[in-house]
Structure 1
Amino acid sequence: MKNFFKIGEISKLYGIGVDSIRYYEEIGIIKPQRSESGYRYYSIHDIWRLNVIRDLRSIGFTMEQIREYLDHHTVLSSISMLEDEKNAIAKQIQYLQKLQKNVEHRLHNIHSALSLPLGEICLMNIPPRHCHLLPEGYKNEEEMDVLIKQLINLNQNRLYIIGSNQIGTMISLPSLVNKKVLSYQSVFLIDEEGEDILAGGHYLCVTYRGDYRQSSYWGQELIQYAHTHNFKVLGNLLEILWIDIHTTSDESEYITQLQLPIE
């Protein structure tokens, strides 16, 4: 068995980048020998240290923590480090389980959106929904994106919003009725940890595919349907983005649901 290895051999055998190996040398964690021609040669001891660095870095240990362990490791410090590793791995498992649940939820929502009936008005009983809400209006998608980013920042634990069908807006009912225009009053992000609440109750709902300008037509259709069937409209129109730019760049694939609160 070889006792010394070149930097390229180490990088290939152990999956550690050459730049990383050189950085560890610069900060003094490993100290390879030099040949007369200037080539670095790494010993079995260096390889052990590189393996420890790689493993501990992969679960979030800082370079200072690793340096301290490598320079002063004993049986007791090794036990302590292994306990710390176990705890760090447990946290990573918890994070990955949360990530898996999130991905499964988003996949379910996208498949559900694709199965929604289009252009059909229906009556739904929707429970109260916790959300983060920003009572700020906007005029275009670029302004809306800024507001959505602000909403996401309200809960740093959120992993993704792709395909979540949890983004929505409120459309002014008076503007839609009197002026036939879409006036966006606020944006919200449905989240069980949100401090705001979208009222539960009965909603007239309709789902359409394509660009958001259709919300004007379908919103008026919902209002007309409510009047024809003697429902009382209770508030502004909700626009729920089931499939939007976060899921597809093709506007024709957007799926939006309008929800009109009534009694």
Structure 2
Amino acid sequence: MKDFYKIGEISEMYDMSRDSLMYYEKLEILNPIRDDNGYRLYSISDIWRLNLIKELKSLGFSFKMIKEYLDKRDINSTNKLLINGIELLDEQIYTLLKQKENMRKRMYTIADTYENSNLNNIELNYLKKRKGTVLNGQIKRDEEFDLLIQKLQKKYNNKFGILGNNSVGSVFSIESLNKGITTDFESVFCFLNDDAEDYNIEFEEGYYVTLIYAGDYTNNTEHIQHMFDFIEDNKLIIRGNPIEIYKIDIHETEKCEEYITEIQIPIKC
């Protein structure tokens, strides 16, 4: 067995890049010596340190914790390290269980939307006040919607997702609707839980003319016209901008016929 190994040999032995080894050196958790030509030489001492670093990394310890442990090791510090490791794992398990439950809820939301949506029926519904987060911005293309949603997620610290979320939508431009244009929107939004404290809009409690339909968004023009006819026939008055909620969209399926969209128009009775 040799006393010293070159960086290429260590890189191959540990299936590790040279950059990683040099990064360890920068962190001062490895300290190879240099030969007369300036090449790094790793000693037997570096080998056991690398073995330990590799194992501690696989257990989820940070480089900061690894360095502190390597700088001062005894039975007490080893026990303390392992206790900290158990606490870290408990936190990770909790996070994973939350993610698992979140995925189950998304699956339920998608299934419930398909099974219980009353399609193509115009209804007059009383909806309670809803909290939300909104971001203003002119939208005339689908790509602009996703760009604004990304900005909204960033603004809201990524506290809501897209996949399986039937609470994301857009606010129509009522001015454009009055001209027969159904592809212009003023903002994007996401409904939040009733107990949310961090919100910047409240959708008013009251009556809404609603319609849920399946299929491509090009059907909007026909559906909205039917809703306007319903409002006129029943002598109702629009009291705000209509909204469109994407219950199932391109994020869940690439088949337009599987899209499910809800339009809500706030009215005065």
Same fold (TM over 0.5): yes
Distance 2:127 2:260 in 1: 19
Quick check: 1:25–1:31 contact (8 Å CA) kept in 2? Answer: no
Alpha-carbon spacing, 1:124–1:73, altered in 2? closer, same or farther (3 Å): farther
Q: Which residue of 2 aligns with 1:202?
A: 207
Q: Which residue of 2 aligns with 1:238?
A: 243
Unaligned runs of 5+ in 2: 1-8, 33-42
Quick check: 2:239–2:266 contact (8 Å CA) kept in 1? Answer: yes
Q: Which residue of 1 aligns with 2:217?
A: 212
TM-score (norm 1): 0.78
Offset of residue 236 of structure 1: 1.4
Offset of residue 162 of structure 1: 0.7
Q: Which residue of 1 aligns with 2:87?
A: 87
Quick check: 1:31–1:46 contact (8 Å CA) kept in 2? Answer: no
Unaligned runs of 5+ in 1: 1-5, 12-17, 33-39
SS of residue paired to 2:237? coil
1:114-136 deviations in whole A, cap 9, x for unaligned?
12122111222222221111122
Distance 1:261 1:132 in 2: 18
Superposed, which structure 2 residues align to 1:18-33 within 5 Å? 18-19=15-16, 23=20, 27=24
Offset of residue 7 of structure 1: 8.3
Distance 2:140 2:22 in 1: 55
More divergent stretch after superposition (75-84 vs 203-212): 75-84
Q: Which residue of 2 aligns with 1:138?
A: 139
Alpha-carbon spacing, 1:83–1:91, altered in 2? closer, same or farther (3 Å): same
SS of residue paired to 1:208? strand
Superposed, which structure 2 residues align to 1:44-193 within 5 Å? 47=51, 49-57=53-61, 61=62, 63-115=63-115, 116-158=117-159, 160-176=161-177, 178-182=178-182, 183-192=184-193, 193=196
What amino acid sits opposite 2:245 in the alignment?
A: I
Distance 1:21 1:64 in 2: 20
Quick check: 2:59–2:85 contact (8 Å CA) kept in 1? Answer: no
1:204-255 deviations in whole A, cap 9, x for unaligned?
2111122212222211211211222233322111100011111112222211
More divergent stretch after superposition (63-72 vs 112-121): 63-72
Quick check: 1:226–1:232 contact (8 Å CA) kept in 2? Answer: yes
Quick check: 1:30–1:49 contact (8 Å CA) kept in 2? Answer: no
What amino acid sits opposite 2:256 in the alignment?
A: E
Distance 1:139 1:231 in 2: 28
Aligned Cα root-mean-square deviation (Å)? 3.1
Quick check: 1:132–1:154 contact (8 Å CA) kept in 2? Answer: no
1:162-188 deviations in whole A, cap 9, x for unaligned?
120121111133432x31112312111
Alpha-carbon spacing, 1:128–1:213, altered in 2? closer, same or farther (3 Å): same
Distance 1:22 1:241 in 2: 46
Alpha-carbon spacing, 1:95–1:114, altered in 2? closer, same or farther (3 Å): same
Alpha-carbon spacing, 1:47–1:132, altered in 2? closer, same or farther (3 Å): same
Offset of residue 153 of structure 1: 0.8
1:56-76 deviations in whole A, cap 9, x for unaligned?
34xxx2x23212213422233
Offset of residue 26 of structure 1: 7.2
Offset of residue 158 of structure 1: 2.4
Alpha-carbon spacing, 1:205–1:157, altered in 2? closer, same or farther (3 Å): same
SS of residue paired to 2:212? strand
Alpha-carbon spacing, 1:22–1:171, altered in 2? closer, same or farther (3 Å): closer
Distance 1:22 1:169 in 2: 47
* Alignment coverage as a number of residue pairs: 242
SS of residue paired to 2:113? helix
What amino acid sits opposite 1:55 in the alignment?
A: L
